[in-house]
Structure 1
């Protein structure tokens, strides 16, 4: 059971950029990062991921203090803090815009369990003391790829001095071999950006235009690597701010897993498993012909190297632990049995299709349906799920795999060991919904029952604002309110890509959305403590 799972030319630089480059160390800092939330950074998800591979999640199940290095705009950081109010969250980023945004959200929602600091990782490493060991969990999402070698050394020092024995570290990063063919594309865009004046998002757009022109002109690199042209097509509609951070940083490390393992090994950290839960299951992440080879490999580092080669992996979400022990089967059963789970979306919208490296997997409705039906009634412990008639035949191992895949697919959320106070998260959700009403682009809400966050559309957030403003909980009342708020923001419905200008048709769409919201989404949000 335990194994289930820069500038216009090289000499002259605009004054503003020259000053900025002194502290950015080549990191894109003239435009903000995307407002994202990543469930793999959630303590309850990390604890379940470790437990599912037979490792003791220990301190991560109810961490007292969490450090996030490189918080970006800080939306995910603040959502995690609001949804886990008994945990102290420490956030560090060297971009003052990022810290100011996160602090603004936290202060507006009166989130008391956060400390935010504008500083470099090197600053933090210098100030850390030997044996400080005040952290149960350290989180780094994506940042490892984009910072300097000196920053990597600082990260290791922070982990060595501050992560408690029994603590976990989550780190995600671009990796080999999946990015190998993309290296020339990134360098092309980076070099082209040096020739383009203006902000990084403008430089990104110019770089993509150049790439498209080169493809049409028959450049041999693109002809020899047709997957790159396909990648560029996928990039074209994406947010330019995000792409600037992804492709224009001067530091751009594409790691082999063995190098990352060696890096954190200097801090006495060992590999635990992937936070992308399906990637711990060989049947779902390896070609059939390679499974016996990987199963037989005893070296955990080389085993992961084989996995990466097998899947042509380009992004890893790793968990490393400091003195984290393996569980016995009995210990794993006991910890799993007490773990609670909840639906992340309305039961009627659930599908049992799970994305994996090897393609999409479709689960058997006869097994997954009863689990979803039970969770639609409210959160349930794992031992309740195992006892369902549909799962008795397969036993605990089949139940673990089914629940793990539902968590992997985002349909189900593992819950914290103790139910959090929902008030801070609900205050934050009011702030977020209010900002959307003012034209800001947010798409996540805090879900304190799960100690996590969930995605929400602009329409859902406007409907939530209407409820916060005292609108009656009826389709007609909410539709009237929604139409007015959309008009104020100059937002139109679309039909076949064209704006809906007919008021009757627009109101009909609004009423349908309001009805669906009241019937499906609002009950779920109440279950998750969102409202």
Structure 2
């Protein structure tokens, strides 16, 4: 069975001195930071939900016409951080225009270095806050795709108003907006803990990574001492354990911002109404399908709610939603069933996992859904052979459309498949852009302490890497002449020597090395990378 390798200690240690990057002489929340953490930068992370093809697939599955990602488009990311998602998309779409804004000069400098190193000429990152951008100095023509990942929960109410002002002027008719945020009711039990962590961190001197480290340790000791809040909320201990394995940069930005606010869906919908945005659906695909998230009795009950805002919030209450990943549209056209099926049939998908046997079971909020081994084998084999249109897949499967389309949707959701372009449409120049970006990313990476990614011109985005994959990719690029057996030997030694690669619970280092560091596994992984347009 394939195991994903993760890294991280039980308690998130403060960053090494060389990695504590922030503007020189800065306090945790500088005057220009408006209550936002600025003394350490955010994580180096790629989010597939921000990719144009992923957003287009979300809209089509929900019956809306998206902008065509195969035609030139304009893309804007608000609060882009280090802009890794933005840059990965830009590398794959040389004919389109990409713009990012972030108010943290460290993030902007990091993004600009990466853009310059990769030699990309269709993407720019501006240093600007939401207020100045809303004033119109940098807006220009409207955008077909606008994305904001998480920032809506981390900024002040004034800045949320500025965001809505930007959206009201920057989204093209028919354009899509991705907006993710901490949601109610899932965050409700955690609100006192967040307040505790922020208050305790304010009591501690030092940088934000040190302060969140001390605050989490204090909260853990309260839990171990059976403080009433912890004993009354059964899930808190598990939540603290989960927090302790996360990147300290994320934790500082998540828990220490002064304006941290989880939102209820109706409030977000009302806030976005002046920007003429209507709800399209969630990029968390199971949440769009009632039978995946609630019992028959609950489906009937939720079906009695006529107001769409309340209905969606009721679904959040059913699922206990913690984080929403929503797509909104400005005048998005509702498709007829025939139009939807026609456009969906042209979507191409490809496998991005090298399992020899097809996945047949998926965890969903109401338990588990299982699919026929025969159907799964046919679909999985097709996806592993290269990009396949949904129409081509459907012709090869003698099962109901709903059944195999559910299977494809859950494969994508689980990160086993991904929307892509036709292999024959990837120009040599686009492959070269991806190669340059991957070289720049490897130059930036010091140690594979967290999952990284490789730009893929076929996916029009990126492929996530676990730490063992990072080690293998470096072996591949440093020693392209080496055979797979020799690479497997080197990888086995590297895994054994690398303290940042954690052994999954119940497993052993020997099992991991046997599974991932053998010639067959190495050959399969490299073959998949080549098929995705990833080259050394």
- Check whether TM > 0.5: yes
Please identify, of 151-160 and 421-430, the stretch whose mean Cα deviation from structure 2 is larger: 421-430
Q: Please list, as runs of the form range in 1=range in 2, the aligned pairs for 1:195-344 lying within 5 A after superposition.
A: 195-344=203-352
Q: Which runs of 5+ in 2 are unaligned?
A: 1-23
Name the CA shift for 1:179/1:265 in 2 (closer, same or farther; >3 Å).
Answer: same
Partner of 2:13: none
CA contact (8 A) 1:284 1:356 kept: yes
Could you tell me which runs of 5 or more consecutive residues in structure 1 were left unpaired when the two chains were aligned. Answer: 1-14
Structure 1 residue 287: deviation in Å?
Answer: 3.0
Q: CA deviation at 1:510?
A: 9.2
In the superposition, relative to structure 1, how do residues 59 and 266 fare at CA in structure 2: closer, same or farther (>3 Å)?
Answer: farther
Alpha-carbon distance change, 426 to 124 in structure 1, aligned in 2, over 3 angstroms: same
Call closer, same or farther: CA 1:212–1:386 in 2, change over 3 Å: same
For this pair of structures, how many residues does the alignment match?
506
Matched residue of 1:229: which SS? helix
Give 1:198 deviation, angstroms.
Answer: 0.5
Q: Does 2:45 align with 1:36? A: yes
Once structures 1 and 2 are overlaid, which stretch shifts more, 478-487 or 208-217? 478-487
**1:192, 1:207 within 8 Å by CA — same for their partners in 2?**
yes
Distance in 2, matches of 1:242 and 1:349, equals: 35
1:120 aligns to 2:124 (yes or no):
no
| Cα drift, residue 390 of structure 1 | 3.3
Q: Tell me the residue number matched to 2:431.
A: 422
Using the alignment, how far apart are the partners of 2:324 and 2:361 within structure 1? 21
Tell me the C-alpha RMSD between the 2 structures: 2.9
Structure 1 pair 137/467, CA: closer, same or farther in 2 (3 Å)? same
Q: Equivalent residues in 2 for 1:313-462 (5 A)? A: 313-348=321-356, 350-391=358-399, 394=400, 396-416=401-421, 419=426, 421-436=430-445, 443-462=452-471
1:492 Cα offset (Å): 8.6
- Farther-moved stretch of structure 1 (81-90 vs 334-343): 81-90
Other-structure match for 2:533: 529
Could you tell me how far 1:347 is from its partner in structure 2?
Answer: 3.6
| Pair 1:368–1:476, CA change in 2 (3 A) | closer
| CA displacement 1:135-188 (0-9 Å, x = unmatched) | 001000111100111111111111111110000000100010011111110001
Q: Which residue of 514, 517, 524 corresponds with 1:513? A: 517
Q: Residue 173 of structure 1 corresponds to which residue in structure 2?
A: 181
- For 1:79, the equivalent position in structure 2 comes to 88
Matched, 1:182 2:168: no
Is the CA contact (8 Å cut-off) linking 1:279 and 1:356 kept in structure 2?
no
User: How far did 1:464 drift?
Assistant: 2.5
Counterpart of 1:51 in structure 2 is 60
Q: Is the 8 A contact 1:59 1:136 kept in 2?
A: no
- The 1-side partners of 2:229 and 2:504 are apart by 37
Q: Give the CA deviation at 1:349.
A: 6.3
Q: TM-score normalized by structure 2?
A: 0.87
Deviations 1:5-41 (A, max 9, x none): xxxxxxxxxx945695211111112112122111111
The verdict on how the C-alpha distance between 1:160 and 1:492 changes in structure 2, with shifts beyond 3 A counting, is closer
Give the C-alpha shift of residue 493 in structure 1: 7.7
**1:158 — aligned with what?**
166
Distance of 1:492 and 1:258 partners within structure 2: 42
Give SS of 1:194's match.
Answer: helix
